[in-house]
Amino acid sequence: MNHTDDKFDVEQYFLGILDSDDSLSSGIAAIKTLLMVLEKTKFDTVQELHSTIQAAVQTMRKTDKPMTSVVSGSELFSRFITLAKFDDKTMDEVRQIMLSRGKLFLDNLLESRHIIAKQATSFISDGCRILTHARSRTVRDTLILAAKMNKRFQVYCTQSFPDNQGEQMRRELQAEGIECTLILDSAVGYVMETVDLVFVGAEGVVESGGIVNRVGTFTMAMCAREMKKPFYVLVESFKFNRMYPLNQRDLPNDYKYSKNSLTDIARAHPLVDYTPPLYITLLFTDLGILTPSAVSDELIKLYL
């Protein structure tokens, strides 16, 4: 029988992490929460541990936060901590092994954004114009690193209706001395012909090599392909998701809609959309620079 500290509230802890540190994605917050569940739980079998982790994931899925990376990150975390051999170990020893593996997993993830930034800056040349969408922390960190390397470039960032995340992105880039212009979501086609490349983040990467990201990404990708502009995705490998959507309807509802706004209007305006691999030039990840067709091979390695 497993015994979790009665005072530990999974939902409160998860939301508290996100409220206190704006630099963390919901996926990283989920993994930090699962580590704390592991620390607070006494269990008699590995199966009980899995049940406890699954219950914690379900609790987080009921919150109003983006779910794509919560699901993929939690699944990879569970697999990673149970890779060790436990045959001759007591349950306390098993728990300590899982905790140390979990902390190693988290440390690697926290490094991944920096690894991606170092790769992607080599694609930024002096004087280039970059279009980005909404507010991706990975894209932001890459642009800031490029500016610190004394590269001079100009950024166009979409407003990203309805929560206007692009305004925050512009403020953060301008605070670092980067020239950034906020554009209307509907101006993507107008601006596309003047830019050299597109950088976007992703909330999830699916088996086909396509991505799930802030709504409007698909439109931007189609426009970039039509105007022959490279469309680059900057994304951490813990967001690789064992899912194979064929169209927008295939995305799960808890990826697409906010829990607090399941009205008819909200259903017509989802939070994310699916961009097929056809429109993606390259993915910059902590596993290396990948073509969309290489993603399925990497997913097989991650989930073996």
pLDDT in tens, 69-87: 898 999 888 888 877 666 6
Calculate mean pLDDT across residues 281-304: 89
If asked whether residues 126 and 105 sit together in one domain, one would say no
Confidence of residue 287 (pLDDT cuts 50, 70, 90): very high
If asked whether residues 48 and 142 sit together in one domain, one would say no
Distance between CA 7 and CA 13 in Å, rounded?
11
If asked whether residues 275 and 175 sit together in one domain, one would say yes
Per the structure, how many domains does the chain have? 2
By C-alpha distance, which of 175, 197, 187 is closest to 280? 197
Examine the fold and report which residue of 61, 87, 111 is the final residue of a domain before the chain moves on: 111
Examine the fold and report which residue of 92, 111, 130 is the final residue of a domain before the chain moves on: 111
Residue numbers of the domain that contains 74: 3-111
- Provide the mean pLDDT of the chain: 89
The pLDDT score that the predictor gives to residue 264 is 52
If asked whether residues 289 and 155 sit together in one domain, one would say yes
The pLDDT score that the predictor gives to residue 1 is 47
